[in-house]
Amino acid sequence: MLVSGTHLLALGGLAAGDTTTGRIWSIDTTTLAAHQVGTLATAVHDASGAELGGNAVVFGGGSASTVAVVQAWNGRRTSAVGSLPQPRSDSAATTVGATAFVVGGFTGHGMARDVLATTDGKTFRAVGRLRIGVRYPAVAAVGRYIYVVGGELATTEGTLAGGQTDAVQRIDPETGQVQVIGHLGRGLGHATAFALGNRLFVAGGRHGAAATADIIEVDLHNGGSHRVGRLPRPMSDAAAAVMGSVGWLVGGETSGPAAPVDTVLTVRLRG
């Protein structure tokens, strides 16, 4: 999910019936009205995305198989603008300044550990390598660092049998250094990370197969965590965006891909 002015953009994903959709939705954050405004050239789910140069850019994802295509929507039409170095789905993306970083994911055969940087969606360079290869991680940037919280470890099509990690990895894209700075104390996958007020929060996700409603704050120094809030219900795989001091969570799942949700939630700091 991306921010465009006062609107949120949700591009692709899984719709009811566990079907891949290419629809592009615009959500007015003032009225909360949602309208379809376009369609991806290639329908994908489990992709990641970023705003680059005024375009909404979608990196890879799952279609009939894991794909490498990079798509850009300019507000009128969608086109393929590039390709990842290898197919990648189940990834997450975040931005630092004008650069987007694609983190984690699955190639269709194994983990994609290279952290990729791009400023245009057309050319990519590896700026680091995860210490622990993960898919469906919670990823957000705070200051100069990128934080990778948890993630799934399975290298098969399904993720339930492969275990999860509780590790918090920190990426310094300037030096390429990647460190495990701490542990949550419990494995977590399919969660959603966002930064508010230079603080890192992770919402929902799954402990094993069970979704959680917890919102936790992750300590940026030692990777520890504590619960600071609760979602209205347990859910995973939501998309996140931040506008000013408000975090937005859109969609997600309850018990799995066959049980999508259509809610739009806001998260605000107290005090």
Question: Looking at residue 256, what is its pLDDT?
Answer: 76
Total count of residues recorded for the chain:
271
Question: Looking at residue 185, what is its pLDDT?
Answer: 95
Rounded to an integer, the average pLDDT of 146-171 is 89
CATH of domain 2-268: 2.120.10.80
Give which of 153, 223, 211, 147 is closest to 185, Cα–Cα: 223
Give which of 116, 158, 118 is closest to 135, Cα–Cα: 158
pLDDT band at 271 (very low <50, low <70, confident <90, very high): low
Rounded to an integer, the average pLDDT of 44-49 is 96
Is there a contact between 67 and 90 (Cβ–Cβ < 8 Å)? no
pLDDT tens-digit series, residues 187-217: 999 999 999 989 999 999 999 999 999 999 9
Q: List C-alpha distances in Å: 102 to 6, 66, 111, 171.
A: 25, 15, 13, 12
Q: Is the dihedral of CA 157, 92, 201, 169 positive or negative?
A: positive
pLDDT band at 155 (very low <50, low <70, confident <90, very high): confident
pLDDT tens-digit series, residues 65-93: 999 999 999 999 999 999 999 999 999 99
Question: Looking at residue 159, what is its pLDDT?
Answer: 64
Question: Looking at residue 88, what is its pLDDT?
Answer: 98
Question: Looking at residue 167, what is its pLDDT?
Answer: 98
Give which of 220, 260, 217 is closest to 236, Cα–Cα: 260
Rounded to an integer, the average pLDDT of 159-178 is 92
Cα–Cα distance for residue pair 13/24, rounded to 1 Å = 9
Give which of 14, 5, 73, 56 is closest to 250, Cα–Cα: 14
Q: Which token pair is 83?
A: 């390709």
Give which of 155, 146, 139, 147 is closest to 191, Cα–Cα: 139
Question: Looking at residue 3, what is its pLDDT?
Answer: 85
Q: Where are the domains of the chain?
A: 2-268
Is there a contact between 90 and 110 (Cβ–Cβ < 8 Å)? no
Q: Is the pLDDT of residue 21 over 70?
A: yes
Contacts made by residues 35-41, CB under 8 angstroms, sequence distance 24+: 37/9, 37/75, 38/73, 38/75, 38/76, 38/77, 38/78, 39/78, 40/11, 40/12, 40/71, 40/73, 40/78, 41/71, 41/78, 41/79, 41/80
Q: Is the pLDDT of residue 107 over 80?
A: yes
Q: Is the pLDDT of residue 255 over 90?
A: no
Arithmetic mean of pLDDT over the chain: 94
Contacts made by residues 58-61, CB under 8 angstroms, sequence distance 24+: 58/11, 58/12, 59/84, 59/88, 59/91, 59/93, 59/102, 59/121, 60/84, 60/87, 60/88, 60/89, 60/91, 60/102, 60/105, 61/12, 61/89
Q: Is the pLDDT of residue 261 over 90?
A: no
Share of the chain above pLDDT 70, in %: 98
Identify the residue whose tokens are 């520890």.
Answer: 224
pLDDT tens-digit series, residues 140-151: 999 999 999 999
User: Which strands form 246-250's sheet, in the order they lie side by side?
Assistant: 239-243, 246-250, 264-268
Tell me which of 204 and 156 has the higher pLDDT. Answer: 204
pLDDT band at 260 (very low <50, low <70, confident <90, very high): confident
- Please compute, for residue 12, the number of CA atoms within 13 A of its CA located in the half-sphere on the CB side: 25
Question: Looking at residue 162, what is its pLDDT?
Answer: 78
Q: Is the pLDDT of residue 136 over 90?
A: yes
Question: Looking at residue 183, what is its pLDDT?
Answer: 97
